[in-house]
Chains A and B, each alone.
Chain A
Amino acid sequence: MNEVCFKNIDKENPSSLATYEATGGYSVWRKILHGELSPEAILGELKTSGLRGRGGAGFPTGLKWSFMPRNQDGQKYVVCNSDEGEPGTCKDRDILRFNPHSVIEGMAIAGYVMGATVGYNYIRGEFMEPYYRFEEALKEAYDAGLLGCDIGDSEVNFDLHTHLGAGAYICGEETALLESLEGKKGQPRFKPPFPANVGLYGMPTTINNTESFASVPDILARGGQWFADLGVPNSGGCKLFSVTGHVTKPANFEIPMGTPFSELLEMAGGLREGRTLKAVIPGGSSTPVLPAEDAMKMTMDYDSIEQVGSMLGAGSVIVMDDTTCMVAALTRLAHFYYDESCGQCTPCREGTGWMYRVLKRIMDGQGKMQDLDLLTSVQDKIMGNTICALGDAAAMPVESFIRHFRDEFEYYIKHGKSMVTKVNSDG
C-alpha cells in the first residue's frame, strides 16, 4: 500500500523537495537533463507499465503521449487536470498537498517527451490549500534549478504555471478545461479535432490527470514492468481509491489494482455497527451504482468492475448502507448534474433539469408510476447524444438506480415516503 503517489504521506514534511528527493524524486528528470533518457525509451516504459488515465476515462497514458506531434514546429502544451470535483473523489487534493513534486516532475517529463516547453496545472478554485502547497513546491523546484529555460545547460526548457478554476465541475472535462484556461466559459469542445492537434490556444496539447502525472516518475525510476506487476492484466500498477460514505474510516488508499473490494472496505474500517451494505458506487457519482452483492464480487480493477456492471472511473468508492434512501440519493445526484450542466448542448441542458424535477416531484410525494419509465426514457435519450461525457454521466446513475432499486422508487411513489425508515443521515 501507498507505494507511488502516497509513498511519502507518513513522513515529516511530505510535500518538501528534500523529502521528495530523499526517496528518489527528480532522479528521472535529472537523467533527462543529463541526456541519459530518450523520449522513445520513456514512451516504451510507460506503455509497458499499463498506466491508464486516472481521471476516469482510463485511456492508456503512453499511447496518449504518443499521439502528440512531438516534432511539429511551434508551441505545444502539457496540462494537468487537478480540477477534481467528481462527487466521491478527493485523491488529487492529497497528491497536491502531500506530493506536489511528483506532479511537477511528471509534467516536466511529459513536456520533454512531447516537445512541450510550457505546462499548466489547472487546480480547482476551491483547492486553496493544495494550491498554496503546489505553488511552494513550484518555487522550490525553480529555486533548485529544476525548471525554466535551458535547465542546467541541458537545452531542455520547461516552464510550469498554475491556473485556478472558479467553480465548475464541467472543467474537469479536458476540452472544457482548455476553454477555461483560455479565460472562457468551461464549455466542452466537439471532437475532432482532438487536443493533441488543436488544444490550448489552438496548439497541440496533452491533458492528464494529477494522479497520472504523479505516477510517472516512479514508473520510470523503477521500471514499467515493476509497475505493471503491481496490478493485474489490463489494469497495471496501483491506484488511489477514495472510500467515502457509510464507512467508519473514510480515507484515500493507494492499493494494487485487482484488490478485492471487500479488503478495501475493511481498510476503510468497514460499515458502522449494526449496518449492512446496501449499495456501492465504485468509481465516482457518474458510474452506475451496484447493489451490495454485485459490489462484493468485484476486485478493484477496470475489467472486474465492468463485469459487475459499472466502471472504475476515478476510483471513488461511495459506500451506502441500509439506512440509505436510494430515491433521495439519486435525487441528490440528479440535482448535481442539473446544476453542473454547462448548458451548451440540448439533451444535457434540457434533460438533466427534466430528470431532477421528476425526481424532486417524487420526493415531494407527487410522483406517478409512469415517472419511472419516463426517467428511464429521458436518460436513454441523453445517453450518447451529447458533446461531452457529462450527459452520459448524468444518465447512468438514473438508469442504474432505477434498475437495481425499482421497488424502492415504486414504494416512494405509492406511499409518498421512503421505504427506508432512517433516512440518509447519521447526523
Chain B
Amino acid sequence: MVDIEIEIDGSVVHGHSGESIISIADREGIDIPRFCYHKKLSVAANCRMCLVDVEGNPKPQPACSTPASAGMRVHTNNEKAKASQKAVMEFLLINHPLDCPICDQGGECELQDVAMEYGSDVSKFNEGKRIVADKGIGALIQTDMTRCIHCTRCVRFGAEVAGIVEMGATGRGEELKIEPFLSEGIQSELSGNMIDVCPVGALTSKPFRYEVRSWQMNSVESVARHDLVGSNIFTQTHKGKVKRVVARDNESVNETWISDRDRFSYEGLTNENRALTPKIKVKGEWQEVSWEAALEAATSGIKKNSAEAFGALASKNATLEELYLLQKLTRGLGSENLDTRLDVANPSSTSALETTISLAELEAIDHALIVNSYLRLEQPMINHRIRKATLNGAKVSTVNSLTFDFNYRVANSVLSAPQNTLATLSGVLKALLEANSLALPDYLKDTKVDQAQIDIASTLSAAENAVVVLGEQVNSNPCADQVAKLVTQIAKASNSKTLNASATGNTLAAEKVSFKPNGGLNAAQMFTANLNTFVLLDVYPTYDCVDSTAAIEDLSRDDAFVVAINSFEDESVLGFADVILPLASFYETSGTHINIENVAQSYGASVKAAGDSKPGWKVLKVLADLLELPGFDYTDSPQVADDALSLSPNVATSEVDIIAMEVPNIATVWQYTPYASDVLTRHAQSLQQTQIGQISEAVVSAATAKILELSQGDCYKGVPVNINETVAEGCVFVHTNQARQR
C-alpha cells in the first residue's frame, strides 16, 4: 500500500492507494451520507447515497466503492454530488412509510437523520406506497419490512460475520424483499447485531418494542460480563430501568459487535424472581427485615462458628471487587475454604492453562485446534475472531465429544469421549514429537497413534501461527488438569499459542484475587466437610453445582448456617438459606471485569439496584466491618479495585503427571446453553424463546444408549434423550437449559 494524497472538498488528505474514498473521508471527519456502507462489511454500493463528484468522471461515483488514486479530486457537496444525493434520498423516501412517530428507530434512524439534510419537505410521489408482508424471525428481532430500504447490511452481516446465511434478498425489482427462507427464527448467536446495522426501523429489538423513545434514554458506558471477552456496551436506561443494551465500539475487544447474550440478558433484571428485600429465617419461616437486622443475623451466625468450618462460594460472574472482598473477608476470618469452581467435576484437578494469544492475534492464526468446546456458543466473540481467520484460509481441527455446528468448516474432527480425551491428545502429542524427531516423555511410550491424530499433528506442524483452545466441556472431565497439561505440551511441541476458555465470565478476576483455596477446601470438598457456615455470593446450586443434589443436601443440614448474598431467589436457596441479602445484579453495581487478555475493564452502575438490593462490594464491606475485620475502610468501589488489581495472584504451578484417572465407562458431559450459563440470562425471557435457548437434549449413540438402556424420548438426568451418531461412543452429551439432576 502506497500513501497517496487526494483532495476532498478542497482539502488535501492522505490515504492508501486503493482505499475507498469514504474510508478516507471518515477518517478525516468529512461527512458523506450512506446507508449500505458499513466499515465492517463488504462493499455493496447499492444504496447510491454516497455518490460524490470525482473530477474527470462524467457520472457521479459511489464513495464506498471508488478506490482513491493519487491526485484524485473529489467533491462531496458540490451541485452535482448534491443533486445525486438528493435524488437518491427522494427515491428512498417514496416507499418508506411515514410512521416515524410509532417507529422504535425514530430518533436514531439513519434515514431520518440524512433526510433532515438531504430530503425535501414535499413529496412528489402520489402513487400507493409499497407494503411488505413480513415473516417473523424469532423472539429477539422485530421485523417491519415495509420500512426496509434494501441496503442489505443484515444480509451481509449474516453471510460475512455471523457465518450463517439466513437472511437473503429475494425476488427482484420493486418486489425485492429482505427475508429468511422460513420463519422458524434466526439461529445465529450474534443475530442482534442485525438490529444495530439496520439503518432504519425494519429490524428493531423485539423486547424493546414500544418501551420508550430512544431520545428519552440515557446511554451509559458499561461492560458485559457473561463471557471472557467483556464486550463493551451501552446500557440504555429510562427511569432507573435498563431498557436496551447496544454495542459500544472497541476495536481490540469486541470491535463493533456483541453477542445476543450480552444484548438481551438485561431482561432478567426485572424478572419477578429478583431478590428484593433482606430476609431472615425464623423457626423455618421467612421474615422480611431491615438491612440492619439481616446483617446482624448474618454476623452473629458467622461469629458463632469457627473459621475452619467457614466456607465461601462465589459466582464466576461476580465483579472483581466482590470477589476480592469476599476472599479478604474469608481469609480475614482465618479460613482458606473459598472457590468459584462449582461446575468443575474435580476441582482439585482444574485445567491450568495460560492464555498466550490476544483477540486481535486470533484473526491472524492459520490453524486452530479446539479441544472440548462448542466455542461458537460458549465464547461467541472469540469464535468470531477465529471465524475471521478461517475466512483468510485458517484451518480448524476439533477434539470434542459431540459434532458441533460451527460457523466455519472443520478440517479435522475427532470425536472423543472424556475418558478417551487423554489418549487422543497423547496420540496427537506423540505424532508431533515423532514428526519433529523430539524425545518422547515416558508417559507417551505406550501411546498408540492413529491417522486422525497424525492429521491433526501434521496440520499443527504445518501451521505457522496456530492456537490450541481449551473449552468449558473439559470441566466435566475428572482429569482436566492432565488434559490441560497435554494441551500445553502440544502447543509447546508445535510452537502454538494457547487460549484457555475453560472457565468463563469473570474467572480471570477470581484468579487475580486467588479466589480458590490455598491449603483449604475446594468447592467439592466443602460439601463433604460438615462446614457450619457458608456464605454464597450469587450461587444457585441447582444450576451451578456439578452434584447439585449433594450440595443442596449438605447446605440444608440443620447445623449449616447459610448466608446467601443473591440477586435472585430460587426455591432451593429459600430452602437451605438462613439469611438472604439481596444483591444488586449486572448493571446495578459498579465493578471490574478482567478479560481473556487480562485487561481490567471497570464500569459504573447503569441503574440503581432493584428494590432494596445493594451492590455486593457494599454488602461485603459492611459485613466485614460488622465482623470487626480490619482493612475494609473503603468508600467507593474503585478503591477496592485498586487493591484487588495490585495483588499478584498466587500461581501455584504444581507438576501434573499424566496418569489417566479412573473414570466411569460411560461419562457425562454437561453443557448449558449459553442462555442458561448464569442467573441473569436464565431469567431473560426472550433469550429463552430462541432456538439456542430452547436446546435441551441428551445426545447419545445407539450403542451407548443400549448399554444405558435408553430409548429415544427417554429422559437422562431429566433431559430428553436424542439418539444419533454425532456423539462419541461411551458418553452422553447433555446440552440443556435445564437445571442439573442426578
Q: Do the two chains touch directly in the complex (Cβ atoms below 8 Å apart)?
A: yes
Interface residues of A (CB under 8 A from B): 168, 170, 185, 190, 192, 338-347, 349-354, 357-358, 361, 374, 377, 380-382, 384-387
Q: In the complex the two chains form, is A346's CB within 8 Å of B174's CB? A: no
Q: In the complex the two chains form, is A354's CB within 8 Å of B173's CB? A: no
Chain B contact residues, majority secondary structure: loop
Select from chain A the residue with minimum beta-carbon distance to B95: A350
Verify if B125 is at the interface (C-beta below 8 Å from A). Answer: yes
Least CB distance from A227 to B in Å reads 31
A190-B62, A350-B174 are known contacts. Are A185 and B169 too (CB-CB below 8 A)?
yes
Q: In the complex the two chains form, is B173's CB within 8 Å of A349's CB? A: yes
A354-B94, A387-B45 are known contacts. Are A349 and B174 too (CB-CB below 8 A)?
yes
Cα A341 to Cα B175 in complex, Å, equals: 10
Least CB distance from A314 to B in Å reads 22
Least CB distance from A269 to B in Å reads 37
Select from chain B the residue with minimum beta-carbon distance to A353: B174
Select from chain B the residue with minimum beta-carbon distance to A191: B65
A350-B94, A384-B60, A387-B46 are known contacts. Are A343 and B88 too (CB-CB below 8 A)?
no
Q: In the complex the two chains form, is B150's CB within 8 Å of A343's CB? A: yes
Cα A170 to Cα B176 in complex, Å, equals: 14
Residues of A within 8 A of B173 (CB): 338-343, 349, 352-353
Q: In the complex the two chains form, is A381's CB within 8 Å of B87's CB? A: yes
Task: Please tell me which one of the listed residues A343, A354, A374, A386 contacts residue B172 in the complex, with CB atoms under 8 A apart.
Answer: A343
Select from chain A the residue with minimum beta-carbon distance to B66: A192
Verify if B92 is at the interface (C-beta below 8 Å from A). Answer: yes
Task: Please tell me which one of the listed residues B95, B124, B174 contacts residue A377 in the complex, with CB atoms under 8 A apart.
Answer: B124
Residues of B within 8 A of A384 (CB): 58-60, 84
Verify if B47 is at the interface (C-beta below 8 Å from A). Answer: yes
Q: List 18 A-B contacts (CB under 8 A).
A: A190-B43, A190-B65, A338-B174, A342-B173, A343-B171, A344-B169, A347-B87, A347-B91, A349-B173, A350-B92, A353-B173, A353-B174, A354-B94, A377-B124, A381-B91, A384-B60, A387-B46, A387-B48
Task: Please tell me which one of the listed residues A190, A344, A374 contacts residue B124 in the complex, with CB atoms under 8 A apart.
Answer: A374
Verify if B571 is at the interface (C-beta below 8 Å from A). Answer: no
A345-B46, A346-B47 are known contacts. Are A357 and B149 too (CB-CB below 8 A)?
no
Q: Given known contacts A346-B48, A346-B49, A349-B91, what 14 new A-B pairs fall within 8 Å (CB)?
A: A190-B45, A342-B172, A343-B173, A345-B45, A345-B46, A346-B47, A347-B87, A349-B150, A350-B174, A352-B174, A354-B125, A381-B87, A384-B84, A386-B48
Verify if B90 is at the interface (C-beta below 8 Å from A). Answer: yes
Cα A342 to Cα B43 in complex, Å, equals: 18
Q: A-facing mask of B32-63, CB < 8 A → 1, else 0?
A: 00000000000101111101000000111010
Q: In the complex the two chains form, is B171's CB within 8 Å of A351's CB? A: no
Least CB distance from B76 to A in Å reads 15
Q: In the complex the two chains form, is B150's CB within 8 Å of A192's CB? A: no
Q: In the complex the two chains form, is B46's CB within 8 Å of A346's CB? A: yes
Q: A-facing mask of B85-117, CB < 8 A → 1, else 0?
A: 001101110110000000000000000000000
Cα A338 to Cα B176 in complex, Å, equals: 12
Least CB distance from B651 to A in Å reads 49
Least CB distance from A249 to B in Å reads 36
Least CB distance from A305 to B in Å reads 20
Least CB distance from A145 to B in Å reads 40
Task: Please tell me which one of the listed residues B48, B58, B169, B174 contacts residue A347 in the complex, with CB atoms under 8 A apart.
Answer: B48
Least CB distance from A354 to B in Å reads 6
Q: In the complex the two chains form, is A185's CB within 8 Å of B172's CB? A: yes
Q: A-facing mask of B67-78, CB < 8 A → 1, else 0?
A: 100000000000
Q: In the complex the two chains form, is B67's CB within 8 Å of A345's CB? A: no
Verify if B292 is at the interface (C-beta below 8 Å from A). Answer: no
Least CB distance from A125 to B in Å reads 15
Residues of A within 8 A of B43 (CB): 190
Cα A382 to Cα B59 in complex, Å, equals: 11
Cα A341 to Cα B171 in complex, Å, equals: 11
Cα A322 to Cα B706 in complex, Å, equals: 86
Select from chain A the residue with minimum beta-carbon distance to B51: A385
Cα A382 to Cα B43 in complex, Å, equals: 21
Residues of B within 8 A of A382 (CB): 87
Cα A170 to Cα B172 in complex, Å, equals: 10
Q: In the complex the two chains form, is B127's CB within 8 Å of A357's CB? A: yes
Cα A384 to Cα B87 in complex, Å, equals: 11
Residues of B within 8 A of A381 (CB): 87, 90-91
Select from chain A the residue with minimum beta-carbon distance to B176: A343
Least CB distance from A177 to B in Å reads 15
Least CB distance from B175 to A in Å reads 7
Cα A16 to Cα B91 in complex, Å, equals: 52
Residues of B within 8 A of A185 (CB): 169, 172
Q: In the complex the two chains form, is B149's CB within 8 Å of A343's CB? A: no
Q: In the complex the two chains form, is B174's CB within 8 Å of A345's CB? A: no
Residues of B within 8 A of A353 (CB): 173-174
Q: In the complex the two chains form, is A341's CB within 8 Å of B174's CB? A: yes
Select from chain A the residue with minimum beta-carbon distance to B93: A350
Q: In the complex the two chains form, is B87's CB within 8 Å of A385's CB? A: yes
Least CB distance from A126 to B in Å reads 17
Least CB distance from B165 to A in Å reads 12
Cα A381 to Cα B92 in complex, Å, equals: 12
Residues of A within 8 A of B124 (CB): 374, 377
Least CB distance from A378 to B in Å reads 8
Q: In the complex the two chains form, is B91's CB within 8 Å of A343's CB? A: no
Select from chain B the residue with minimum beta-carbon distance to A387: B45
Give residues of chain B (171-193) contacting chain A, Cβ–Cβ below 8 Å: 171-176
Select from chain B the residue with minimum beta-carbon distance to A377: B124
Select from chain B the residue with minimum beta-carbon distance to A366: B126
Name, among A340, A349, A351, the residue most crowded by chain B CB atoms within 10 Å (CB to CB).
A349
Select from chain B the residue with minimum beta-carbon distance to A339: B173
Least CB distance from A346 to B in Å reads 5
Cα A238 to Cα B87 in complex, Å, equals: 41
Residues of A within 8 A of B91 (CB): 346-347, 349-351, 354, 381
Cα A377 to Cα B67 in complex, Å, equals: 30
Least CB distance from A180 to B in Å reads 12
Least CB distance from A196 to B in Å reads 16
Cα A33 to Cα B335 in complex, Å, equals: 91
Name, among A342, A344, A374, the residue most crowded by chain B CB atoms within 10 Å (CB to CB).
A344
Cα A342 to Cα B173 in complex, Å, equals: 5
Q: In the complex the two chains form, is A345's CB within 8 Å of B94's CB? A: no
Residues of B within 8 A of A345 (CB): 45-48
Select from chain B the residue with minimum beta-carbon distance to A392: B59
Cα A384 to Cα B57 in complex, Å, equals: 11
Cα A349 to Cα B127 in complex, Å, equals: 15
Cα A264 to Cα B662 in complex, Å, equals: 95
The 4 A-B pairs with the shortest beta carbon distances in the complex, nearest first, are A343-B176, A381-B87, A350-B91, A341-B173
Residues of A within 8 A of B51 (CB): 385
Least CB distance from A106 to B in Å reads 31
Cα A343 to Cα B87 in complex, Å, equals: 17
Select from chain A the residue with minimum beta-carbon distance to B92: A346
Cα A352 to Cα B172 in complex, Å, equals: 12
Cα A357 to Cα B49 in complex, Å, equals: 24
Cα A346 to Cα B149 in complex, Å, equals: 8
Residues of A within 8 A of B175 (CB): 343
Cα A344 to Cα B175 in complex, Å, equals: 11
Residues of B within 8 A of A377 (CB): 124
Least CB distance from B149 to A in Å reads 7
Least CB distance from B268 to A in Å reads 41
Cα A347 to Cα B91 in complex, Å, equals: 6
Residues of A within 8 A of B149 (CB): 346
Q: In the complex the two chains form, is B169's CB within 8 Å of A343's CB? A: yes
Name, among A192, A358, A382, A385, the residue most crowded by chain B CB atoms within 10 Å (CB to CB).
A385
Cα A341 to Cα B176 in complex, Å, equals: 10
Cα A414 to Cα B417 in complex, Å, equals: 83
Give residues of chain B (409-441) contacting chain A, Cβ–Cβ below 8 Å: none
Name, among A346, A353, A374, A385, the residue most crowded by chain B CB atoms within 10 Å (CB to CB).
A346
Least CB distance from A207 to B in Å reads 20
Cα A382 to Cα B91 in complex, Å, equals: 9
Select from chain A the residue with minimum beta-carbon distance to B175: A343
Select from chain A the residue with minimum beta-carbon distance to B57: A384
Residues of A within 8 A of B88 (CB): 346-347, 385
